[in-house]
Chain A
Amino acid sequence: MIPELGHYALVLALALALIQAVAPMIGALYRDASLMRLARTTAIVQFLFVALSFLALTLCYVTSDFSVVNVYENSHSMMPLIYKITSTWGNHEGSMLLWVFILALFGALVAIFGGNLPATLKAHVLAVQSWIATAFYLFILLTSNPFLRQAQAPFEGRDLNPILQDMGLAIHPPLLYLGYVGFSIAFSFAIAALIEGRIDAAWARWVRPWTLAAWMALTLGIAMGSYWAYYELGWGGYWFWDPVENASLMPWLAGTALLHSAVVMEKRNALKIWTVLLAILAFSLSLIGTFLVRSGVLTSVHTFASDPSRGVFILAILVLFIGGGLTLFAWRAPMLRQGGLFAPISREGALVFNNLFLTTACLTVFVGTLYPLALEALTGEKISVGAPFFNLTFAPLFIPLLFAMPFGPLLAWKRGDLLAAAQRLMAAFGIGLVAIAATFVAQGAHAVLAPFGIGLAFFVMVGSLVDISERTGLFRVPFKVARQRAIGLPRSAWGTAVAHFGMGVTLLGIVCVTTWASERIVALKPAQTVSLDGYDLVFDGMVQRSGPNFRELAAKFTVRRGGVVIGEMAPAKRTFSSRSMSTTEAALMTRGVSQLYLSLGDTNDDGSIAVRLYHKPLVLLIWLGAVVMMLGGLLSLSDRRLRIGAPKPAKAVAKSALQPAE
C-alpha cells in the first residue's frame, strides 16, 4: 500500500509539473494574472506530493518492506534505524528521488518567498523550474522507479553497501544535492531573464541568496565527502582528483564565480551577460556531475552500479537543458543592455580577475575529467588522468587567485588604487614573510615550495581581515569605538572576510599535510612497537567484537608520546556477512588539529598483521577551513539586503526594471 501511494504521489507531482511548465508561460504571455498565480499553488502542492513520495520510500526502508525491490537490494532488517533511513538515498533510485525532492523544495520556497518578484519573472522562473522537474520525474518513473515490487518478498535484504553505512556518507549526498539543485534556481532565473529579454541589478539581488545558499551546501557537502574518503577508504588521502570528486568541484568553482560576478551586477549593473552565462554554466555542470555519477560512464571509487539505459536518458536531459540554455543564451543575450564602465584596476576588475581564474581552473578540471572519455570514444584508447595532471594545471591557476584575494575587497568600485591597497596589506605581507622565514629556518632547504605555501596561507588569512580592521579603525581608534563600528558593518563585509579567511585556513592545512605528513607501513606481531614522529604505538593484541549486522576484528594499540600513555587506538576490519564484504575502519587520534591515522591490512600466516600508520599534521584545517567558508556564506546570507525575499528594489532600479531593454 505505502509504496503504491508513494508511486502515485510521484505521478501526481509529474502531472502538476506539466501544468506548471506551461500555464504560467501562457499567463505571462497574455498578462493573465490568475494563470501566473497558478504556478504558486502548483509549486507548493507539487512539493507536498514529492515529499509524500519520499516519505513513503523512507517508510518502506524503516519498516524493512522487502517486497520493494529497492529496499531488498539496499537494506537489512538488522541495520540500525539511522542507516535504514539514510539508505533511502544510499542507492541510485532513492538518490534520484532525493534529487527531485530538493528540486521541488526549492521551487516551493521560490513560490512562497518570492512575493515581491515581478509577476512575469516569477511565473517564468517557476515554469522553467518545472521543466527541469518534469524531466527528472520522467527519468525516475521510466527508468529508475524506486517503488517497484517483487512478487515474492524475500525474508532478508541484501544490505546496504557497508562502505555507505557511515554518518559521513549519510549526510554527504543531501548536502551535495542541496548545492547541485540549488543552482537550478539561478538557472531558472537566468532562463527567465533571457525569455523576457531584460535584466537589471534587482535580478542579481534575487538570484544571489539562492546561489549563496546552494554554494554553502555544496561547500559543506564537498568537505564532508572529502573527510569521508579520508577516514573510510583507509588511504588517508583527502582528495583523489577522482572524476566523481571533480564532478562536484566543477559546479563549486562555477558557483563561486557566479557569486562574485553577481555582486558586480548588483552593485554596478555590469557583467550582466557574463553573470547569466555563469548561472547557466553552474547548473549545467551540476547536471554533468549528476550524469557522470549516475550513468556509470566513469570508473570511480564512489559510484554505484548502474545500467546504461539510464545514462542515455540523463544524457538526453543534459543535451536538452545545457544545449537549450546555451542556445537561448546565444540568441537572446545580445538583447541585454550592457552596464557600468570600470577601469581594469578596480573592485569590478578584481572580481573579473577572480571570475577569469575560477572559470579557467574549472575548465582545466573539465578537460582532465572528460578527456579520457572523449579519447576513448574517438580512438578506443583508454587512459587515466590522475593527480599529477591536476597538480600541474589547477595549482598554478589557483595560486595567483589566492594571492589576489586580499586585494579585491580593498579596491574601490570603478577605479581603484592598487598601491594604496598594497600599502594597507603591508601587515599581511609582513606576517607572510615571517611565516616563510620561520618555515625555512625550521625546515632547512629540502622542502622549497612549502615555506611559500605557508607564507601565502598566512598572507591570505591576515589579508582577508584587513578590510574589516580598516573599516572599523581597529588599532587606530579606541577598542570600544571599533567594536561599535564592527557591529554596524554590513554582514556581507564580514561574510567576505570570513569566507576568504576560511580559504586561507584550508590552504594552510593542505600545504602542511602535503609537506609534513609521514607514513609507515609495517607488519606487527603482538607486543611489537611502531614509532612515527615521536609517537610510539604498541600492538596489544586482537579482539573480536560484533555489531548489529557485522563482525569486527579490532587491533588494540596503546599510544605513547615520550613514554607517557596518551590514549588507545583500535582500528578494525569489519565483515558484513550478508554481502560477504569487509571494510577497514581506520582509527583516528586527534591531537589539536593534527591526527594520527591507523588502519589495518591483511593478517599474515605468521600471525603478524599489516598496519598503516600516518601522522597528518594540521589535517583538520582542510575541512575546518571549508566550514569557516560556509559560515562566511551564512553571514553574508543574513545581510539585510539579501534576506530571502529580498527587499523591494530601490526606486531608480525599479524604474529601470520597467523599461524594456532596447
Chain B
Amino acid sequence: MDLAFTKEEQAFREEVRAFFRDNVPAETRRKMVEGRHLSKDEMVTWWRILNKKGWGVSHWPTEYGGTGWTSVQHYIFNEELQAYPAPQPLAFGVSMVGPVIYTFGNEEQKKKYLPRIANVDDWWCQGFSEPGSGSDLASLKTKAERRGDKWIINGQKTWTTLAQHADMIFCLCRTDPSAKKQMGISFIVFSMKSKGVTVRPIQTIDGGHEVNEVFFDDVEVPIENLIGEENKGWDYAKFLLGNERTGIARVGVSKERIRRIKELAAKIEAGGRPVLEDPSFREKLTACEVELKALELTQLRVVADEGKHGKGKPNPASSVLKIKGSEIQQTTTELLMEVIGPFAAPYDVHGDDDSNETMDWTAQIAPSYFNNRKVSIYGGSNEIQRNIIAKAVLGL
C-alpha cells in the first residue's frame, strides 16, 4: 500500500500542467474560473489544440489515436485538466459515441467518424432521453423504420445537451416494436442537418441554454448509419454508460472550486471579519474538504484497481463516485452562494451572452448553484445509483 506517485508519474503531472499553462487560452480559463458559459468556438479551439498535441482522445486505443497511458496517467491528466481549469473533451463524441464506434462499428464507420470526432470536426450530441423515458430509458419510443435503403426516424428526444451546436447525433431508436423493452432498440447515427430534425431550446432554471428538445419528423437516414447489429442498441448503450467511471467524481472540479471559495471568503467580509474566519462557515467548508479527500481516495482506489486488474466489468464503486462527487459539487456551489450572501441576487440581464465584459462575475454564482442541481439528476440519478449499489453490491 503506497500513496506516492512514481517519479515518472510526477514528471507526467508536471508535463501536463505545463502544457495547460502554455496552451489553454487565457480567456477560456478565466471564463471557466468564473463559471461562465463558453462559446462553441472557444471550446472547439481548445479541443483542437489538445488534439494536435495528441491528447484529444487520450483513452482510445492507440490505433485510433489514443495515448496508451496507464490508468494513473489518465487520472492525473483529468485531475489537472479539471483543476486548471480547462474544458474537458466533448464527452458525447470522445467518451460516448467514439468508443461505441471503435468497439462495435465496421471499418468504414471507424474511418469515417473517428478522426472527425477526435478533431471535433463533428460536434456530437446524445439522443437517449425522451419526454417519457428518463431513468426508465428502455421505455423509449422514437421509431426507426426500415424503408428500402433508408431508416425513417420519427419521435422526440429531450435534455439533448448542446444540440444547438451539434452536427451529428447518436440515437437510440426502436426498430422492433414487437420485441420486449430492451430487445428492439438500435443505435443509429445521423446528421443533425438532416431534413425533418428540429431543435428547440429548453431554458434551465439558471437562465442558461444547455439542453434542448429534438424532434424527428420522417428523417431519412442511410441504412449504413446503423452501428453494430440491429436490435442490439441497448447493449451498446449500457457499454457506453458503463464506460465513464472515474472521471464522474470530478474531484479536480471540486478542488478548484474550493480554492476559489477560500480566495473569495478571505476577501469578503461579514460581521467585521472575513467570511473564511466565521466558525460556522469554516466548519461547513472543512466538512466538504474532508468528504472530498475521502472521495479522492475512493477514486484512487478504483483507478489503482483498474490499473492492476484491468477494466473488466463495471466497478460498482463508480456509483459511490457519482453520488458523492455530485453531492460535493453541489455543496461547493452552495458555499460560494454563502460567501457572497446578498450579492448573489442580481440577475444577469445579458443571459447567455458572456461576452459582456462589464458584467459582474458575481452574477454567475447563483446560476452556477442552480445549474449544479443537475449533477445529481443526470448520468443516472443518484437514486438510480443507490438502486445499482443495492442490487449489484448488496444483493438486495
Q: Please indicate whether A and B come from the same complex rather than being unrelated chains.
A: no
Residues of B within 8 A of A (CB): none
Residues of A within 8 A of B (CB): none
